């Protein structure tokens, strides 16, 4: 007998089914399990019947995060924006079922017809992008619902939000950048903060958390080591102090800023627009 609870066995099997490990090899899409193999374009492995492009390790991570949210009694529902064949939402619904949770929903938001064409006037970096022309990325609502049904998980705890995100999703009052800014050089850090400022309504907040280095650069060894790591691993990324970050936020226009320690080596900087 395997030394696993029925819940673990069910969720492990669900993950294996969603990624087609039960009947065949894992999909060969370039993003599967972060392999990011060169030479393959999006939707390359069209033959794979897997219900998600997400690989096993990331599915296990998703399961863990949903379980942790439930165990820590953090209130709220779950949403995936961009569900493709629905696999990640099916997993989230499966976790709710396995843990007997009836008071939370899973929102599956997608156009259910692929990506919108790029708007190079608004977003110059997207010019020439061809993802909107890829039929492999367009999965209809009917197909996604049928996939949920296959697992016995299509019910009123699943809500489908159909349409392009620009029309269906509300703009956010709070933006969070967790362990993001340290990947980038100073110019890009400033650019990202400015973009967040533009995207927020007046009164909105930007929360940045990171293994912030203490202002005297003496005590947060992990922050200092992380900075060294970023300098080696990225083109210009580095970690920074709360004072540094507060300065960048104020330069971008944020009025109130405050720095607060979280748990472990992480602290956050909050900027109010
Ligand atoms: C790469 S796939 C997502 C893969 C999926 N998360 C999984 O687990 O396999 C991208 C999905 O996002 C949807 N999508 C991309 N941009 C969108 C937009 N602006 N509005 C609505 N849906 C969008 C596409 O229709 C497609 O289903």
Q: What is the pLDDT of residue 31?
A: 55
Task: Name the residue with the closest Cα to ligand 1, atom 27.
Answer: 84
Q: Which of 115, 133, 135 to mutate to test the pocket of ligand 1 (most atoms within 8 A of CB)?
A: 115
Q: Considering only CA atoms, which of 98, 108, 126 is closest in space to residue 165?
A: 108
- Ligand 1 neighbour 41 (Cβ under 6 A): no
Pairing state between β 174-178 and 205-210: parallel
Q: Residue 247 contacts by C-beta under 8 Å, 6 or more apart in sequence?
A: none
Tens digit of each residue's pLDDT (9 = 90 or more) over 57-90: 778 889 999 999 999 998 899 999 999 999 999 9
User: Which residues fall within 8 angstroms of residue 128, CB to CB, at 6 or more apart?
Assistant: 118, 120
Residue 272 — pLDDT band, cuts 50, 70, 90?
A: very high
Q: What is the whole-number distance in angstroms between the Cα of residue 83 and the centre of ligand 1?
A: 5
Q: Determine the pLDDT at residue 118.
A: 93
Q: Which fold has domain 6-168?
A: Rossmann fold (3.40.50)
Task: Using alpha carbons only, give the angle 98, 100, 102 rounded to the nearest 5 degrees.
Answer: 125
SS3 37: coil
Is the C-beta atom of 82 inside 6 A of ligand 1? yes
- Residue predicted with more confidence, 32 or 51: 51
Question: What's the pLDDT at 42?
Answer: 41
- Atom number, ligand 1, closest to the C-alpha of residue 51: 9
Q: What is the pLDDT of residue 36?
A: 40
pLDDT at residue 41, as a whole number: 43
pLDDT above 60 (res 215):
yes
Whether ligand 1 lies within 6 angstroms of the CB of 160 is answered as no
Quickly list DSSP for 177-220: EES-GGGS-HHHHHHHHHHHHHHSPTT-EEEEEE-PBPTTSSS-
Tell whether ligand 1 has an atom less than 6 A from the beta carbon of residue 117.
no
SS3 254: coil
Mean pLDDT for 266-272 is 95
What is the pLDDT, as a whole number, of residue 154? 98
Residues 6+ apart with CB under 8 A from 84: 52, 53, 110, 137, 139
CA 220, CA 208: separation in Å to the nearest integer?
Answer: 17
pLDDT at 40: 44
Q: Just give the CATH number of 174-272.
A: 3.40.50.150
Per CATH, 6-168 and 174-272 having the same topology is answered yes
Three-state DSSP at 16 gives helix
Percent of the chain's residues with pLDDT above 90: 66
- By C-alpha distance, which of 235, 187, 237, 248 is closest to 211? 237
Helix, strand, or coil here: 58?
A: helix
- Does the beta carbon of 269 lie inside 6 Å of ligand 1? no
Residue 28: band (very low, low, confident or very high) from pLDDT cuts 50, 70, 90: low
Of all atoms in ligand 1, which is nearest to the CA of residue 84? 27
State pLDDT tens for residues 99-116.
999 999 999 999 999 999
Tens-place pLDDT, residues 128-181: 999 899 888 899 999 999 999 999 999 999 999 999 998 998 778 999 999 899
Token output for 122:
């608004």
Per residue in 182-209, pLDDT tens? 999 999 999 999 999 998 999 999 999 9
The DSSP element (H or E) to which 165 belongs, if any, is helix 165-168
Least confident of 115-129, 154-168, 233-247: 115-129
How many angstroms is it from 223 CA to the middle of ligand 1? Answer: 35
Q: With a 6 A CB cut-off, is 135 part of the ligand 1 pocket?
A: no
- Looking at residue 86, its pLDDT comes to 96
- Ligand 1 centroid from CA 138, angstroms: 8
Domain boundaries, the chain: 6-168, 174-272
Which numbered atom of ligand 1 lies nearest the CA of 52?
9
């Amino acid at each position: 007998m395997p030394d696993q609870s029925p819940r673990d066995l069910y969720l492990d099997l669900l993950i294996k089914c969603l990624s087609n490990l039960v009947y065949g090899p894992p999909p060969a899409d370039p993003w599967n399990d972060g392999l990011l193999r060169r030479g393959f374009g999006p939707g390359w492995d069209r033959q794979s019947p897997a219900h998600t492009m997400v690989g096993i390790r990331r599915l296990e991570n998703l399961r863990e995060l949903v379980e942790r949210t439930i165990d820590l009694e953090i209130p709220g529902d779950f949403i995936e924006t961009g569900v493709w064949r629905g696999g990640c939402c099916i997993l989230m619904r499966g976790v709710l079922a396995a843990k007997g949770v009836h008071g939370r929903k899973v929102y599956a938001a997608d156009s259910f017809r692929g990506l919108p064409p790029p708007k190079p006037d608004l977003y110059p970096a997207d010019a020439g992008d061809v993802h909107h022309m890829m039929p492999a990325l367009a999965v209809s609502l009917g197909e996604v619902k049928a996939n949920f049904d296959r697992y016995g998980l299509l019910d009123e705890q699943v809500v489908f939000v159909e349409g392009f995100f620009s029309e269906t999703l509300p703009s956010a009052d709070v933006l969070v950048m967790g362990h993001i800014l340290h990947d980038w050089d100073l110019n890009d850090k400033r650019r990202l903060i400015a973009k967040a400022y533009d995207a927020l309504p007046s009164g909105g907040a930007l929360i940045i958390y990171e293994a912030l280095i203490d202002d005297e650069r003496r005590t947060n060894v992990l922050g200092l080591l992380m900075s060294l790591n970023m300098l080696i691993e990225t083109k210009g990324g580095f970690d920074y102090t709360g004072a540094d970050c507060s300065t960048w936020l104020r330069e971008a226009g944020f009025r109130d800023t405050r720095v607060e320690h979280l748990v472990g080596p992480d602290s956050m900087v909050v900027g109010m627009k």
